[in-house]
Amino acid sequence: MPYVTVGKENSATIDLYYEDIGTGQPIVLIHGFPLDGHSWEKQVLVLLNAGYRVINYDRRGFGNSSQPSFGYDYDTFAADLNVLMTQLDLQDAVLVGFSMGTGEVTRYLSKYGSERVQKAVLMAPVPPFLLKTEDNPEGVDQSVFDGIMKAIVEDRPAYFSEFFKAFFNVDVLLGKRISNEAIQASWNVAVGASAKATLDCVPSWLTDFRDDLPRINVPILIIHGDADNILPLESTAARLPKLIKNSQLVVIPGGPHAINWTHADQVNPLLLDFLQG
């Protein structure tokens, strides 16, 4: 199993697990909370068949990566991505972030630039700024995130059971675009993550990316479902075309948060068209 070392805590190294398969232009897949790189299953097969080199990795604290007690902020996440990009010496890469992974893409391009990146995709994005403040009335009340953290501390497995109902819009899509088995598989991954990472990631969602977005200088595809119950379209993706140069937004009708799984039949052609354009 391949790893890159991104730091150290006490006697142990902090290692990120990654997969690097296929040949051609590199596509780097950055997963969402609280999953791992295998959550891109429906994209990996399509990308490989289309002749791309596919790299996905598990964020620190999740999947097969190390579970340190610190570093769950976007400066560190972007630094982790930079280590991976540098060690693999990726050139003309396309960064594809889903949900929490869109924060890595945004901060990486803002802080490290586009020397290694040709274009990027933001799928169900967190940016521009999720927290409701006086100068950000489109955001979400702090009390919502306080409630999430309280639920995680009290009973993390039970929290994830409720979370995935909203993640996949189970009330509407169960038996049509999502199965009980797929939900259970996601739950299994989630409970295997670090409890500390799970809790510490919640404040990271409130990162203000508004200063990062104007620094992005590569073409950007934004994809979002209009039935997203985790990151509402109006608070997130709908605001981005005005903030990112050379960006386009595509809205998936009826799409929940997890559009890369439930609506892969619509997301994948959009992704391939953008890559080949």
Catalytic center residues: 99, 228, 257
Tell me the three state secondary structure of residue 174: strand
Handedness of CA 105, 110, 116, 119 (dihedral sign): positive
List the one residue out of 78, 92, 97, 89 whose CA is nearest residue 32. 97
DSSP-derived secondary structure for 93-119 = EEEEEETTHHHHHHHHHHHH-STTEEE
